[in-house]
C-alpha cells in the first residue's frame, strides 16, 4: 500500500512539474529547501484529498494489483447480489371477476417473471386453493399436491415469464383472499419464495323463490336453489353410479321434506326400503314383467308387466293420482325413469304423443318432474324429438383429462329461468357426502 501511494504521489508531482529526485534552486543558484518542502506538502495534501473524494477513507479501500478500489457499502453489495447473483422472481395475480355466485367458477392467472440475471427453478405454488373453494382446472404441466401446485422444478430463464391459468369453484359464500406463495430455487439449490399481491373474491348466494331442491347442493347452487316448481326437466346420462346417486338424492330429499313423491321405473330394487318406510307419501309405479317376484305387495306400489301398453300406464297413473288427492297441501315431485325404455319400444312419434299428454297432466297436478334418459340408446333424431318437450335439460357426460376420464355435469337449458352455465365435475364421494339420515338407506353402490 505504501509503495502504491508513493507511486501515485510521484505521478501527481510530475503532473505539477515537480520531481522528487531534483531540488529546486533559487535565482542565485542556491537550494530553496523551505519552498521545496512546502510544495511537497501541498501535493501530498492534494493527493490525500483526491483519494478521500474518490474512495473515501483508506480503511474502506482494497488494493488489487496496482489499482485501488473502494469497498462497496452493505446496501450496494445486497443490490448487486440481487441483480446479478441471487435470482429474483416477481408475481402478479389477475382475476377475471371478483364477484361470483355460489357454485360459479372463478378464473384467474398467476404471472411469474424472473427479473434477475440468472435462471431459477420453479418448485411449487403454496396456498393454491383457499378455504371455500375447490380446484377445477390447472395447467397440465402441474400436479395438485394437497393445497399446493407442484411445478416439478420448471426452468425460468432471466427476464422470462410464465403464466399459470387456474380455475376454482366457489363452495361457500363470503369474502375470500387468494394469497399464494411461489417457491423457487437457484441453480445452486438455494430456496427462495415470493408472494404476489393478494386478490379478494366475494361469493354471494342467491336462492330464488319456489325452488325444489335436487338433494345435491352443488347442482342446487347452479339452479339458484333448485328446480323451479312445476317445472319439467330431463337428465341425460349413460347408466352410471353418478346418475343413480343423483336420482336417489332427489327422491330421498323429497321424502325428508315430506313431499308427495312419485317414482316411475322398471327397477325399484334400489328403493325397496324407501317404499316400505314411507308408505304414506312415496308411490312407486313398477313396469317390469317380473315385478311380482322382485317386489312384495305394498299399498303404495303399483305394478305393470312392462312399457308395451302406454294406455295401461296412463290408466294406472290416473288411479295413483286419485289416491294422492287425499294428500293435498304437500309439495309434489316425480321421477320418470322409463323414458328410454318407452322410446325403444314405441319410437319417437308415439313416445312424443304419449309425453305430450303426460307432461301437462303432471304439471296440472303440481308435480315438479325429473325425467331420465340415456341419449346413447337412441338415434340423434329420436333423442332431439323427445328432448324438445322438456323445459330444462341437465347433462352428465365424460370428459378426458390428462390422467383419465372424468364425469361432468352441466345445465344445457332452462327455458325462461336463471341458472349458471358452470361445468361441474362430479365426484361420487361428494354425491354421498353427508347422506340423509334415513334409516332405510342401507344399500350403497360400489365405489
Q: Grid coordinates representing 235? A: 337428465
Domain 87-204 coded CATH 3.40.50.2300: no
Contact status, residue 277 vs residue 440, Cβ threshold 8 Å: yes
Nearest to 94 by CA among 84, 109, 82, 81: 109
pLDDT for the residue 79? 60
Please give the model's pTM, rounded to 2 decimal places: 0.73
- CA angle, 111 then 100 then 141, to 5°: 35
Q: Grid coordinates representing 410? A: 352441466
Query: What angle do helix axes 339-364 and 380-387 make, rounded to 10 degrees?
Result: 10
From 3.40.50.300, 1.10.8.50, 3.30.1280.10, 1.10.3720.10, which CATH number describes the 211-431 domain? 3.40.50.300
Nearest to 326 by CA among 284, 281, 264: 281
pLDDT for the residue 123? 94
Report in angstroms the alpha-carbon separations of 119 from 93, 153, 154, 340: 22, 11, 10, 60
Nearest to 91 by CA among 48, 124, 52: 124
pLDDT for the residue 263? 96
Length of the chain: 447
Neighbours of 380 (CB within 10 A): 8
For residue range 4-36, what is the model confidence (pLDDT) as tens digits?
Answer: 454 554 554 444 444 444 444 544 454 454 555
Query: What angle do helix axes 33-55 and 2-15 make, rounded to 10 degrees?
Result: 110
For residue range 99-130, what is the model confidence (pLDDT) as tens digits?
Answer: 999 999 999 999 999 988 889 999 999 998 98
Nearest to 283 by CA among 249, 259, 307, 305: 259
345: buried, middle or exposed (CB in 10 Å: 19+, 13-18, 0-12)? Answer: middle
What residue spans define the domains of the chain?
2-71, 87-204, 211-431
Report in angstroms the alpha-carbon separations of 107 from 91, 97, 138, 140: 17, 8, 10, 16
Q: Grid coordinates representing 415? A: 327455458
* Segments of the chain with pLDDT less than 70: 1-71, 76-87, 294, 402, 433-447
For residue range 339-372, what is the model confidence (pLDDT) as tens digits?
Answer: 999 999 999 999 999 999 999 999 999 999 999 9
Amino acid at each position: 500500500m505504501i509503495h502504491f501511494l508513493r507511486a501515485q504521489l510521484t505521478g501527481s508531482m510530475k503532473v505539477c512539474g515537480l520531481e522528487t529526485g531534483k531540488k529546486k534552486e533559487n535565482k542565485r543558484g542556491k537550494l530553496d529547501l523551505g519552498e521545496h518542502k512546502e510544495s511537497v506538502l501541498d501535493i501530498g495534501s492534494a493527493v490525500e484529498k483526491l483519494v478521500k473524494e474518490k474512495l473515501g477513507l483508506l480503511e474502506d479501500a482494497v488494493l488489487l494489483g496496482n489499482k485501488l478500489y473502494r469497498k462497496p457499502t452493505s446496501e450496494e453489495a445486497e443490490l448487486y447480489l440481487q441483480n446479478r447473483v441471487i435470482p429474483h422472481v416477481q408475481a402478479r395475480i389477475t382475476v377475471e371477476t371478483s364477484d361470483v355466485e355460489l357454485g360459479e367458477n372463478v378464473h384467474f392467472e398467476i404471472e411469474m417473471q424472473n427479473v434477475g440475471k440468472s435462471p431459477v427453478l420453479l418448485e411449487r405454488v403454496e396456498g393454491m386453493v383457499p378455504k371455500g373453494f375447490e380446484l377445477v382446472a390447472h395447467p397440465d404441466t402441474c400436479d395438485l399436491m394437497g393445497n399446493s401446485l407442484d411445478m416439478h422444478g420448471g426452468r425460468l430463464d432471466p427476464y422470462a415469464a410464465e403464466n399459470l391459468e387456474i380455475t376454482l369453484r366457489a363452495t361457500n359464500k363470503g369474502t375470500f383472499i387468494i394469497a399464494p406463495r411461489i417457491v423457487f430455487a437457484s441453480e445452486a439449490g438455494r430456496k427462495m419464495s415470493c408472494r404476489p399481491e393478494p386478490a379478494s373474491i366475494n361469493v354471494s348466494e342467491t336462492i330464488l323463490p319456489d325452488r325444489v331442491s335436487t338433494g345435491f347442493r352443488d347442482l342446487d347452487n347452479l339452479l339458484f336453489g333448485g328446480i323451479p316448481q312445476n317445472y319439467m326437466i330431463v337428465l341425460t346420462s349413460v347408466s352410471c353410479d353418478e346418475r343413480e346417486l343423483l336420482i336417489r338424492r332427489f327422491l330421498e330429499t323429497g321424502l325428508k321434506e315430506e313431499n308427495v313423491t312419485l317414482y316411475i321405473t322398471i327397477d325399484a330394487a334400489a328403493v325397496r326400503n324407501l317404499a316400505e318406510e314411507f308408505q304414506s307419501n312415496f308411490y312407486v309405479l313398477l313396469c317390469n314383467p317380473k315385478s311380482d317376484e322382485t317386489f312384495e305387495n305394498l299399498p303404495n306400489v303399483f305394478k305393470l308387466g312392462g312399457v308395451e301398453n302406454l294406455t295401461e300406464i296412463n290408466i294406472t297413473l290416473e288411479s295413483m293420482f286419485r289416491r294422492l288427492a287425499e294428500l293435498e297441501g304437500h309439495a309434489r315431485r316425480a321421477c320418470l325413469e322409463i323414458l328410454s325404455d318407452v322410446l325403444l319400444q314405441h319410437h319417437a312419434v308415439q313416445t312424443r304423443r304419449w309425453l305430450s299428454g303426460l307432461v301437462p297432466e303432471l304439471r296440472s297436478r303440481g308435480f315438479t318432474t325429473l325425467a331420465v334418459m340415456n341419449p346413447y340408446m337412441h338415434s340423434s333424431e329420436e333423442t332431439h324429438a323427445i328432448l324438445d318437450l322438456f323445459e330444462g335439460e341437465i347433462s352428465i357426460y365424460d370428459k378426458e383429462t390428462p390422467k383419465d376420464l372424468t364425469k361432468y355435469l352441466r345445465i344445457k337449458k332452462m327455458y325462461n329461468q336463471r341458472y349458471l352455465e358452470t361445468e361441474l365435475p362430479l365426484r361420487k364421494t361428494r354425491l354421498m357426502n353427508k347422506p340423509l339420515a334415513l334409516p332405510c338407506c342401507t344399500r350403497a353402490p360400489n365405489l
